[in-house]
Copies of this chain bind each other. A is one copy, B any other.
Amino acid sequence: MSSKTSPSASRKPEPERVKQSLRVWLKMLKATKHVEAVVRENLRVEFDTTLPRFDVMAALYRFEEGLKMSELSSALRVSNGNVTGIIERLVSDGAVLRVPVAGDKRAMLVRLTQRGRDEFARMAAAHELWINEIFGSLPTDISAGLLATLDTIEHAQGLYSEGEHDA
């Protein structure tokens, strides 16, 4: 770990590089928050729902057979207790169904109801358009470059949070 020539060597990072790193991060954070705010607002106004609910439904939509609570929380990278509350509300709204897992009395399988599926399908279609409204004007090569750079960032550090990678 921490070779002498690594750009992240622990001694004396060049101030100009640090400054640029900070600039990039702050701008990335700002842009992301901006897009998130747009999505949140649109979900609220057009579908009377929230981003966390949307995220949960997206995960469940993808796994038609359902997910265990623990699978769900790790897929969304949020805490266990968090998902409990969101699912609770989705269940009482009739969008989600809880079914016991055969052979394991601890676990619960969580699945979209038909109504939940229909509802999410509509939201997802709108969501695609909102996102395309923002990102759709990027030239193809720029877009591809951005994707590649973001990939780098995601993997470009090993000092903190050496968690599990892509699902």
- Chain A residues 120 to 143 lying within 8 A of chain B, measured CB to CB, are 128-138, 140, 142-143
Majority-rule SS of A interface residues: helix
Counted per complex, copies of this chain come to: 2
Number of interface residues of A (CB under 8 A): 55
| Segment at the B interface, from A12-20, A87-95, A103-111 | A12-20
| Minimum distance in angstroms from A162 CB to a CB of chain B | 11
The answer to whether B161 and A134 touch across the interface, beta carbons within 8 angstroms, is no
In contact, A20 and B153 (Cβ under 8 angstroms) = no
Bound form: Cα–Cα A46–B143 in Å: 37
**Across the interface, which residues of B come within 8 angstroms of A157, CB to CB?**
38, 133-134, 137
Residues of B within 8 A of A31 (CB): 28, 150, 153-154
Is B134 touching A156 in the complex (CB atoms < 8 A)? yes
Residues of B within 8 A of A13 (CB): 129, 132, 136
Query: Which of B27, B130, B153 is A160 in contact with, Cβ under 8 Å?
Result: B130
Contact with B along A21-36 (1 / 0, CB 8 A): 1111101111111111
Q: Which 7 A-B pairs have the closest CB atoms?
A: A21-B135, A7-B137, A32-B32, A21-B132, A134-B157, A31-B150, A18-B132
